[in-house]
Chain A
Amino acid sequence: MSSFPPFSSRIVYLPHSDIDTDQIIPARYLKVTDKQGLGEGLFADLRRKPDGSPDPDFPLNKPENSGASVLLTGENFGCGSSREHAPWALKTAGFRAIISASFADIFRNNALKNSLLPVVVDAETHARLVNLLALHPEAEVAVDLASQTVRLPDGFEVRFPLDGFSKRSLLDGVDELGYILSFAKEIENFERRHESPPGEVAA
């Protein structure tokens, strides 16, 4: 059984580019020492009005989007801070894939380590998805990691890029730390020939 089986889902569309991790989860939600309760912080300032009440116009608050596990968004998603709380919060809220024209490097790494799939599509596919949602907000997209495809209800299918290592890791549920520790011997050998650590000289 794959750790990342194919699935279909409605899509939440956040139209802006350069959505930074401070918007995904503001810093005041980072005072936790575990991964619990982070869903509360997800887009906390965007989904509420200044008086604290939910903003009905924010896409995540719309009833038709409840239960959606695919987020469609503008380019350079997840820029800024390295906080892994961003993918943790997205996962907690039920998201399994994010479709964008591009992702910030650290966010992409963090997402992959949490089985949150960054799906990079070209501008044309992005526009097609946006148009689809404008006409059919309830449309579902089918995401299949094994074939690296997303399929639209009209049959349009596009392949997305993902390196083989990340793909295998997601599909097989590879424990990355276990993989790294399997090289204990190599790490030891490396350390034998490498510079010693910085030591405090002046006591």
Chain B
Amino acid sequence: MIGFWSVFVRELQHYFVTPIAYVVISTFWLLSGFFFSFNQLFVSAIDMVSAFHNMSLLLMLMIPLLTMRSFAEEKQAGTLELLMTLPISDGAIILAKYLSLMMLVFFMLLGSSVAVMVLIYFGEPDLGPIVGGYTGIFLLASSFSALGLLISSLSANQVVAATATWSLLLVLWFIDYASALFPASDLINLFQHISFSVQYLDIIRGVVTGGGFIYFFGLVLFCLVSATQVLRMKRF
């Protein structure tokens, strides 16, 4: 992957030389901490199910704010032309941007794990579902990020990119509702399988199924390959 590291490092630097990383990460920590504390204090649950539920929603709100700039900002600033004329492959550009996003998501989830320390300190939580839950949330965030990156590669405007990503995530979240429209159809299975809200029910309980893993991994792969093709199309 020619030029991967240079773009990866540049992307991470960009997040940290601007307030983006600090604002997004601290807001995520603050809100997920608040929801976790609220549940512990008022519901007294010694698990992370509610916390994972809230994290999923927070990530759905915040990831489009991170992904919107990936390509739309480069197009607005005229730096995409530079990137595409440097000796860097299109695949490396996409992968570097995506993995730097995932690095940020990793920091977000890492900080939220303070909640697990609290649970361990005050009780004896079952760590299996917690580890599974974090794995699932990370997979969910991976697919949000990949979708956002793909949308950003298609748009020249950051607001449009963010709005389109939110819309697409909402459609994929609620798509299982559409099964009510086709009650006697095979589409029910399809809608339920691709619905984030159905997949996430397993995730927040800490269950990552083979089917779920393949779905998220496939979605990520599809989005990254498509984004690479979008970049390639710009060369014609």
Q: Judge: A and B partners, yes or no.
A: no
Binding site for B on A (CB under 8 A): none
